[in-house]
Amino acid sequence: MSRPTGPPPATGAWQEGDPPGRRQWVTLRRPLWLEANACLPEVRLAYETWGTLAEDRSNAMLVLHALTGDSHVTGPAEPGHPTPGWWRELIGPGRALDPASWYVVAPNVLGGCQGSTGPSSPAPDGRPWGSRFPILTIRDQVAAEVILADTLGIASWALVVGGSMGGMRALEWSVGHPDRVNAQFLLACTAASSAEQIAWTVPQLHAIRADTGWRGGDYYDARPGDGPHRGLGVARRIAHVTYRSEPELAARFGRDHQDGEHPWEGGRYAVESYLDHHADKLVWRFDAGSYVTLTEAMNSHDIGRGRGGTATALRRVRARTLVAGIDSDRLYPLAQQEYLAAGIPGAGSVRVITSPYGHDGFLIEAEQVGACLGELLAAIPGHARGGATATRRGSVPRSSPL
């Protein structure tokens, strides 16, 4: 799709009247009580599916997206979907998640902005929730997904897959609902958000809330160019630095100047232009209110809260588990995945994805991620599928950059 022109909209959220794309919806018509002792009287989740659900419902997989992802895991950019699928190399004929064998379900998270109930959605009075939208936790998001599974008639998932924020939700599924997850793939995530991970989000949240277009979270009637896109763009710039690695940025950009102009001549550093580009893309397809809501939900993540600590909570997992991390990830370092693998019964050694791309390697290194999925699927009794097998730490082959 062509790049938008003109001033950015107040929100990049999908809104009623926009093309539905490949989305389906489930409306959870009973109130959803949240950990913050607040209530969402009605919740709607957008989701996409691939494949056919078996009569015994044994082939259902749940794929969970990261912070600024959505239900569009695979497929082209098209009306209703501003970007191509974020894991499009992993779903399709002959790929790790083959719709010929599996029924793949990917919801847009509660609090998101691509069809599911979130700050940009209408509240019962018809106006956007905005500042009235309650605080969410990862557990609240999974509680909504449990009702989605119930609505679809899926008593248990053959596999739950997630990276980054999606990995947090996958882990919450297997700890909070151990009888409903048969296998799980946890990628580039942690048992609890660390002080440093929370610290990285603080300036992002401040940037959005300091934007004069934020208006306390009630900006949805603003004209194009008057919403909180500047603060959202700053937040994206900060976050994107944590998603990549220092060696990759050094190799790609060094101290180069964009278009050969020195900054003191009105130009930009090449790496500055790169961050500007990613900020500009996000403000057209995402919502600042959802960014705040989901970031705070990630900060809430602590699998051991109220469960006797993380070690005790991890021992509740019954699912066959494979944990993987990226060797250059400075946001969710490998030590956090090693802790998960050591604490979850039967998980074995962490699988290491070798990549120069940092945390974003979980999205970019499709060949290695697919190999991990192939290894896990081959070990599921009665569900063995073809595919490469990943090796253990230190010997995962490097794939070509995509």
Tell me: pLDDT of 396 over 60. no
Tell me: pLDDT of 401 over 70. no
Q: Residue 2 has what pLDDT?
A: 57
pLDDT in tens, 183-225: 999 999 999 999 999 999 999 999 999 999 999 999 999 999 9
- Distance (Å, rounded) from C-alpha 68 to C-alpha 113? 9
Tell me: pLDDT of 91 over 80. yes
Positions marked active-site: 164, 329, 359
Tell me: pLDDT of 249 over 50. yes
Asked if residue 224 and residue 251 are part of one domain, the reply reads yes
Neighbours of 241 (CB within 10 A): 17
Residue 179: inside a domain: yes
Report the CATH number at residue 114: 3.40.50.1820
pLDDT in tens, 54-68: 999 999 999 999 999
Asked if residue 350 and residue 228 are part of one domain, the reply reads no
Position 394 confidence tier, pLDDT thresholds 50, 70, 90: very low
- Distance (Å, rounded) from C-alpha 11 to C-alpha 289? 9
Q: Residue 251 has what pLDDT?
A: 97
Asked if residue 203 and residue 175 are part of one domain, the reply reads no
Tell me: pLDDT of 360 over 50. yes
Name the domain boundary from 244, 279, 298: 298
- Side chain identity at residue 58, one-letter code: S
Q: What SS3 string covers 3-64?
A: CCCCCCCCCCCCCCCCCCCCCEEEEECCCEECCCCCEECCEEEEEEEECCCCCCCCCEEEEE
Asked if residue 171 and residue 291 are part of one domain, the reply reads no
Beta carbons of 129 and 4 less than 8 angstroms apart? no
Which structural domain, as residue segments, surrounds residue 284? 197-298
Report the CATH number at residue 235: 1.10.1740.110
Burial class (CB in 10 A: 0-12, 13-18, 19+), 342: middle
Asked if residue 283 and residue 320 are part of one domain, the reply reads no
The residues, any chain, with a CB within 8 Å of residue 223's CB and separated by 6 or more, are: 10
Asked if residue 251 and residue 105 are part of one domain, the reply reads no
Mean per-residue pLDDT for 381-386? 56
Name the domain boundary from 268, 298, 328: 298
Tell me: pLDDT of 115 over 60. yes
Residue 267: inside a domain: yes
Assign 278 to helix, strand or coil: helix
Mean per-residue pLDDT for 7-29? 95
- Distance (Å, rounded) from C-alpha 166 to C-alpha 187? 8
Q: How many domains, the chain?
A: 2
Residue 390: inside a domain: no
Mean per-residue pLDDT for 119-147? 97
Q: Residue 5 has what pLDDT?
A: 78
Asked if residue 274 and residue 367 are part of one domain, the reply reads no
Rounded to 5 degrees, φ, ψ at 368 are -70, -40
